[in-house]
Structure 1
Amino acid sequence: MNSAFTPTTTVDAEYFEYSKAANPISAKLISRVPYHSFAAALCADGPSRVVPLDLSEHLGCAGPATGPGLCANFIRLNAGERLRLSPNATSQVVYVIAGAGSLRQGDSQLDWYQGCFIALPGLHATELSASADSRFYYVHDEPLLRYLGVTPSEDRFSATLYPAEVANAKLREAADDPRAQDRSRISILLGNRHFPQTRTVTHVLWAMYGILPPGSVQKPHRHQSIALDFIIDAPQGCYTLVGTELDDAGQIRNPTRVDWAPGLAFVTPPGYWHAHYNESDREAFLIPIQDAGLQTHLRALDIRFS
């Protein structure tokens, strides 16, 4: 065997004793995903634009990124104007907060309006056109592809519309089920026929549409996917508690509290216990978007309840 190596073949090689490298978070070599919230005022008025909810500086990665593998955004699109979306992504989910208009991506064209969800692949750019002042919550997986150093080579699904009236009817059906109060949450998951095993909106993203009934508590739970939560509507008295540990009673020890407000977006870090509370007399509505399609495929989502 030839033992003469050229310098270029060994210059990048490093070696670490196991206990100093196996848990880079505890060793403070890599940062945790932070708690953070983003107010609706970021896109309440002003020119048409995409507003990345960027935490890349804290994460120590190239940006924009809201988590290691996902980027959440607010979009404002004024009446009569257009925006082009072209992230280096495989999966995009758009929720129409307000407004109406149309969308074109490749051979696909669809009309959207308040309350619709849209799932988009990433091979081709998307053009949004607004017939009324519009706002969106928008999540894609460009940070994941940036980290992997890849670009999409094919679309795994087509542009898919989830009409507001259908999504609302399906959610109300779940809420009116006599067994609803016995379940861990009242919600629906958006799916796509191309992903029968993960039952998710794309092969990477999961999108949940949920109700938090008045006077209710969604008990502490955790999962290994990041949750990029968006509050559609909530009265005062709705909030989330987040923390790393449970006490002997199954409640979150020393939690951080996130008070809900319409249009608020906030980050729930992977692996953290979190519980949702509604102490008001009205329903609240939320949308968590997660990288749980990918985590489910990897058999690593690991949802647990207290």
Structure 2
Amino acid sequence: MLTRTSPVLLAEPDVATGDAQYFEYTSSANPIGAKLISRVPFRSFPPSLYADGATRVVPLDLSAELECPGPATGPGLSASFLRIEAGEALTLDPNATSQVCYVIGGTGSVKQGATRFPFAQGDFFTLPGGLAAMFSADTTATLYYVNDAPLLTYLGTTQVQARFAPTRYPAADAQAALREVAEQSNAGRRNRISVLMGNANFPQTRTVTHVLWAMFGIVPPHSVQKPHRHQSIALDFIAGGGPGVYTLVGTELDAEGNIANPTRVDWEAGMAFVTPPGYWHAHFNETNDNAYVIPIQDAGLQTYLRTLDIRFVR
């Protein structure tokens, strides 16, 4: 005959309960609204940060405001300016899955593992994590650089498997793709005139890596690009534009579909600024020249999770 017995407790009842907590649901389910977790702050970073000086990384660090380990420009992304003097090199080896670069100026090459390719002004390129990359400058080079190291720090992940190979998007190809889109007959009726960089390894998300997307957009002379919003953070780099070009950002729309009580960000070529997740933003160009913006976002991850929630004012 089988006898059923009670399970034996192998440890004292209070073992491993020291960190356990319990919260009332309605007061804790929205930590941002309850001001328990900080919002992503507005911030802009001028080109003077990298205009001269020694070879270096210039982190666009908001980790103090975000209350997370730095450097971090958003909860899951870190943006930096890179400056590499002619004839010098800079090696980067972040604990990240994805790295995206836009070449602001200068020429050089990048080497990661067995892959080596040149870069020049206007090029985009991506590098996987898990292997150090060396950036070498033939002429003094400046780059806008974004990775997802803060995301891996939050997850407690240190082992990275490459999901894609180093990939280059030459300036001429990117500009031709954008020009083709801008010249289409219905371009002026679109919310944005832009192209997304893609990678053949990520057909579902159509993004530059599995975590990041990179967009190359134009704001034509005397035009308005109406508000849109999304749950990904946007780390925007201004590749062309100046006084008379600006972005309005805010949390609400008025009855006419305009941003209510907006914050204004005036563009300067070579600057970067943060558009927080969930905020409406609209671009305005009151000049006679084209303006260009490059938002790099964690929209690859958000799209895969089905949480991007991108919305457009019509």
- Is 1:108 the counterpart of 2:103? The answer is no
Write the deviation string for residues 138-194 of structure 1: whole angstroms up to 9, x where unpaired.
Answer: 000000000000024310000000001111111111111112112111111000000
Distance 2:217 2:32 in 1: 32
* Alignment partner, residue 270 of structure 1: 277
> Which amino acid in 1 is paired with 2:227?
P
Distance 1:7 1:147 in 2: 28
Q: Which runs of 5+ in 2 are unaligned?
A: 1-6
Write the deviation string for residues 92-143 of structure 1: whole angstroms up to 9, x where unpaired.
Answer: 0000000001110011110101000011101100001000011000000000
* Alignment partner, residue 3 of structure 2: none
Offset of residue 2 of structure 1: 5.1
Taking structure 2 as the reference length, what is the TM-score of the superposition? 0.96
Q: Secondary structure at the match of 1:302?
A: coil
- Is 1:42 the counterpart of 2:49? The answer is yes
- Is 1:174 the counterpart of 2:181? The answer is yes
* Alignment partner, residue 119 of structure 1: 126
* Alignment partner, residue 260 of structure 1: 267
- Is 1:54 the counterpart of 2:61? The answer is yes
> Which amino acid in 1 is paired with 2:185?
P
Q: Which of 190, 193, 202 is matched with 2:197 structurally?
A: 190
Offset of residue 72 of structure 1: 0.5
Is 1:122–1:152's contact at 8 Å kept on the other side of the alignment? no
* Alignment partner, residue 129 of structure 1: 136
- Is 1:29 the counterpart of 2:29? The answer is no
Offset of residue 7 of structure 1: 3.6
Is 1:89–1:152's contact at 8 Å kept on the other side of the alignment? no
* Alignment partner, residue 146 of structure 2: 139
Distance 1:152 1:179 in 2: 46
Deviates more, 1:137-146 or 1:227-236: 227-236
Write the deviation string for residues 2-57 of structure 1: whole angstroms up to 9, x where unpaired.
Answer: 56645431111100010221011121110000010000000000000001100000
Deviating runs (4+, > 2 A) in structure 1? 1-8
Q: Secondary structure at the match of 1:165?
A: helix
* Alignment partner, residue 163 of structure 1: 170
* Alignment partner, residue 219 of structure 1: 226
Taking structure 1 as the reference length, what is the TM-score of the superposition? 0.98
May I ask how many residue pairs the two structures share in their alignment? 306
Distance 2:242 2:48 in 1: 17
Q: Which of 227, 242, 253 is matched with 1:246 structurally?
A: 253
> Which amino acid in 1 is paired with 2:233?
I
Write the deviation string for residues 51-91 of structure 1: whole angstroms up to 9, x where unpaired.
Answer: 11000000011110000000000010000000001110000
Q: Which of 135, 158, 168 is matched with 1:151 structurally?
A: 158
> Which amino acid in 2 is paired with 1:265?
A
Q: Secondary structure at the match of 1:194?
A: coil
Is 1:235–1:282's contact at 8 Å kept on the other side of the alignment? no
Q: Which runs of 5+ in 1 are unaligned?
A: none
What pairs with 1:290-305 in structure 2 (closer than 5 Å)?
Answer: 290-305=297-312
Please, what is the CA RMSD of the aligned residues?
1.0
> Which amino acid in 2 is paired with 1:85?
L
Equivalent pairs: percent with the same residue? 63
* Alignment partner, residue 233 of structure 1: 240
Larger radius of gyration: 2
* Alignment partner, residue 69 of structure 1: 76
Distance 2:15 2:137 in 1: 54
Is 1:43–1:76's contact at 8 Å kept on the other side of the alignment? yes
Distance 1:178 1:235 in 2: 27
* Alignment partner, residue 78 of structure 1: 85
Offset of residue 235 of structure 1: 3.1
Deviates more, 1:5-14 or 1:94-103: 5-14
